[in-house]
Structure 1
């Protein structure tokens, strides 16, 4: 599997969706993916977005395969002064105490893939999940959250060793409940990167994707530097 993912990685660009056009492409991809799974109802706009997409500590990424939008993911990060993350609204009893204790959390949500590309590039899920993994290292985070449907949890348990911290609850805007698992990143990083070396950042890759410092990726600062990143 490692060889397959490493070969597939050569076809991938990670692009932060900052322009109106790129964001709309991601919102439409989300819509099609969630509609296909019966998680949302159809709408005339054929887009799926919420107020989290406009928060300053939110990064929206498109994952491009052979220059086509194949997947997307949203990352919310509890940087100082901006503790708001979407999963804290659904699981406040579990998430808020960690934020109040000063732990840095990465909250990946809206993880979607194009149906055709999922078939053509089975490694797409691993390639997309490199983004929250790289964000954990970039922002020196302590915990990676995973608010996912119960049938998806075994994937995270097998891949990273996530542990369940809350049973399923309804998530705003979704028809199907999600459960919460999380990963203690500092304890897991050495083991996971030994098992799956494709999660390791390539030279200068994190800085190219997120910027050289912890705040330079904010939309106001990043608008003039967003470029496709060939990994």
Structure 2
């Protein structure tokens, strides 16, 4: 008898079924973060992108910045993949891509553009073959971020052998050829897509990339923003209750 996981793994057309099983979790606790840092190490080590390390973890200075969100992607309660989403603005300019390709990105930030920078996209090397849909499910977080933050540009730091996938699926174009990045043994290039111009084309081809405003808010709204929104709602309700009825 096949397990529920086995029954779900077929063509990409069934990814919408997997959405009922996927759990996107923002890494908040030290334990959640450490599990993801260890996953990064195992994934990078398997593909020869990092050297062996006794710490068996990969993290950097961008993980805990206020403009970064690190997610674990869980299926059937198990961590399968992870991605970190950084949002770049004229005020917040720190991310992997901004460091490696600053001469390309900073002029755009100077013009007031909003850029979503997904990085540290990794999948469990022992589980990834069970779900060929996993890259789509994981990178869906980048699309949700682009919508939530009204991004002008969506990025991808990509090794040369993976660029065809991003070009075919997400309609990205290469805007910088591969170069070495600190901490990695293989060069990465920079790809990008004009999100407002391309999003509907991607949504038409892959409807599971769509999301609701509620889902996006639950994932990307910070605690302080949520508290402020709740306070505004309470204040509005209080003012309304003070208006005498006619």
TM-score (norm 2): 0.84
Structure-1 residue corresponding to 2:85: 75
| Structure 1 unmatched runs, 5+ | 218-231
Within the alignment, does 1:11 sit opposite 2:21 as a pair? yes
Given the alignment, which residue of 191, 197, 201 partners 1:181?
191
Structure-1 residue corresponding to 2:156: 146
Higher relative contact order (CA 8 A, sep 6+): 1
Whether contact under 8 Å (2:89, 2:109) holds in the other structure is no
Q: After the TM superposition, which parts of structure 1 deviate over 4 Å for at least 4 consecutive aligned residues? A: 212-217
The alpha carbon displacement at 1:161 in A equals 1.0
Whether contact under 8 Å (1:57, 1:79) holds in the other structure is no
The alpha carbon displacement at 1:153 in A equals 0.5
TM-score (norm 1): 0.89
The alpha carbon displacement at 1:177 in A equals 0.3
The alpha carbon displacement at 1:137 in A equals 0.2
Structure-2 residue corresponding to 1:229: none
Question: SS where residue 94 of structure 2 aligns?
Answer: coil
Distance, in Å, in 1 between the alignment partners of 2:192 and 2:137 is: 19
Within the alignment, does 1:92 sit opposite 2:92 as a pair? no
CA-based RMSD of the aligned residues comes to 1.8
Structure-1 residue corresponding to 2:43: 33
Distance 1:214 1:107, change over 3 A: farther
Number of aligned residue pairs: give it. 217
Within the alignment, does 1:113 sit opposite 2:113 as a pair? no
Given the alignment, which residue of 51, 54, 60 partners 2:70?
60
